[in-house]
Amino acid sequence: MEIQKLVVGFVKTNCYLVYENNYGVIIDPGGDCDIILNKIKELNSVNFLYIINTHGHFDHTYCDKSLKESLNSKILIHKKDSFFLNSNSINKIIEPSYNGVEPDILLEDNDFIDVNSFKLKVFHSEGHTPGSIMLITENEIFSGDTIFKNSIGRTDLEYGDSKKMKETIIKILDYFKKDYTIYPGHGDITTLNYEKRNLYHFLDLL
Instruction: State the nearest-atom distance from the C-beta of 56 to Zn ion, in Å.
Output: 8
Tell me which of 25, 57, 83, 148 binds Zn ion, using CB under 5 A. 57
Q: Is 126 in the site for Zn ion (CB under 5 A)?
A: no
Question: Is 154 in contact with 173 (CB distance < 8 Å)?
Answer: no
Which segment (16-24, 38-46, 167-175, 183-191) binds Zn ion by CB under 5 A?
183-191
Which segment (50-58, 94-102, 133-141, 162-170) binds Zn ion by CB under 5 A?
50-58
Count of other CB atoms within 10 angstroms of residue 106: 15
Separation of alpha carbons 112 and 181, rounded Å: 19
Q: Is 59 in the site for Zn ion (CB under 5 A)?
A: yes
Question: Is 38 in contact with 17 (CB distance < 8 Å)?
Answer: no
Tell me which of 64, 81, 126, 145 binds Zn ion, using CB under 5 A. 145
Question: Is 148 in contact with 185 (CB distance < 8 Å)?
Answer: yes
Nearer to Zn ion, 24 or 185 (CB): 185
Separation of alpha carbons 24 and 115, rounded Å: 6
Interface positions with Zn ion (CB under 5 A) = 57, 59, 145, 185
